[in-house]
Amino acid sequence: MHMRTIAKLPYLRLALVALVLGCVIGQDKPSPTPAPTRIIATSPSNTEIICALGACDRLVAVSSYATYPPEIQGVQRIGGLLDPDMESILALSPDLLVMRGVSTQIQNLCRDHSIRFYQDRTDTLETMYKTIRELGELLHLQTEASALILKTRDQLRQIQKSVKARRRPRVLLTLRSPDKLSSITTVSDKSYLGEVIKLAGGDNVFGNLNAAYPSITLEDIVAQQPDLIIEAMPGEKNPKKLRENAIGLWRGVAGIQAGQRGNVIVLTEDYVLIPSPRVVQLATRLQRIFDSAGDQRDER
């Protein structure tokens, strides 16, 4: 039958339209991917984010280095990024594995066993917000994620606003072994920690370096002359003794005035190096330290 003939038959045209509409309407809509209920989080940061979203009860395993929140204390441990317990991961039958950093071993395991995988690329404040938003989507907790981002941004904005009027102390933040002043790593403004120093009211003396976590020498520190040295040593015990030892080490270095004056703070809190919503606690802690340092400098 020619198309011209078809056009002359109204009932046939209606039938064809109905057939086409029926095919479109009758198609099965793709069902949304179900929210995961058996999650393995391989780093402290994404563990904290998942719990802050209200999904702690979905965690079946976490990193051996995760300490917060208290709700995870009874959750199984599966090692860390460099030493994952692959047998335990498989035995737990996760429907989502969240990993920060790079582990070909874990990625291959997820691929070979069809385990849904999320790569957490948090290394700045903005990428932390991105991780919160994307995990909220994966967990079907978009509303909670938006609220958490808004709350965290607002709290940090308030801290930043409160320090605008005062002088900014020149700050050195170190990452090193507690027992020696060698192999010292610091942070630039391109890092998460560098961003927090800045918004809390500090002037990072190595903020303009290209690397996020550059290695520095004692000679570099002498050249920069910070007002304050902050040592990040999360998890270390006996912070008072640790600070006394740190001051002793820095006083043994000629030419670094902050060390000679004992302007050394040691941070041992577990949240110091973890990019999570507890960044507000870190920013508040640094703000108070910088406020005190500014007062002392005004007196000199």
pLDDT bin (cut points 50, 70, 90) of residue 158 is: very high
Contacts of 251 (CB under 8 A, 6+ apart): 259, 260, 262
- pLDDT at position 238, please? 86
pLDDT bin (cut points 50, 70, 90) of residue 3 is: very low
- pLDDT at position 237, please? 84
Q: What is the arithmetic mean of pLDDT over 222-243? A: 93
pLDDT bin (cut points 50, 70, 90) of residue 246 is: very high
State how far the Cα of 144 lies from the Cα of 150, in Å rounded to an integer. 10
Nearest to 53 by CA among 274, 270, 273, 277: 277
Write down the architecture of domain 39-159 according to CATH. Answer: 3-Layer(aba) Sandwich (3.40)
- Tell which CATH classification among 2.40.110.10, 3.30.1360.120, 3.40.50.1980, 3.40.50.1100 matches the domain 166-299: 3.40.50.1980
- Compute the mean pLDDT over every residue in the chain, rounded to the nearest whole number: 89
Strand duo 170-174 + 117-120: pairing: unpaired
Let me know the angle formed at the C-alpha of 81 by 128 and 96, rounded to the nearest 5 degrees. Answer: 65
- pLDDT at position 19, please? 40
Q: What is the arithmetic mean of pLDDT over 25-47? A: 80
- pLDDT at position 31, please? 54
Q: Give the predicted TM-score (pTM) of the model.
A: 0.85
- CB contact at 8 A, 43 and 27: no
In the chain, what is the straight-line distance between the N-terminal and C-terminal CA atoms, in Å?
101
- pLDDT at position 166, please? 87
Q: How many CB atoms lie within 10 A of CB 135?
A: 25
The 10s digit of each residue's pLDDT in 18-34 is 444 444 444 455 557 89
Instruction: Locate CATH 3.40.50.1980 in the chain.
Output: 39-159, 166-299
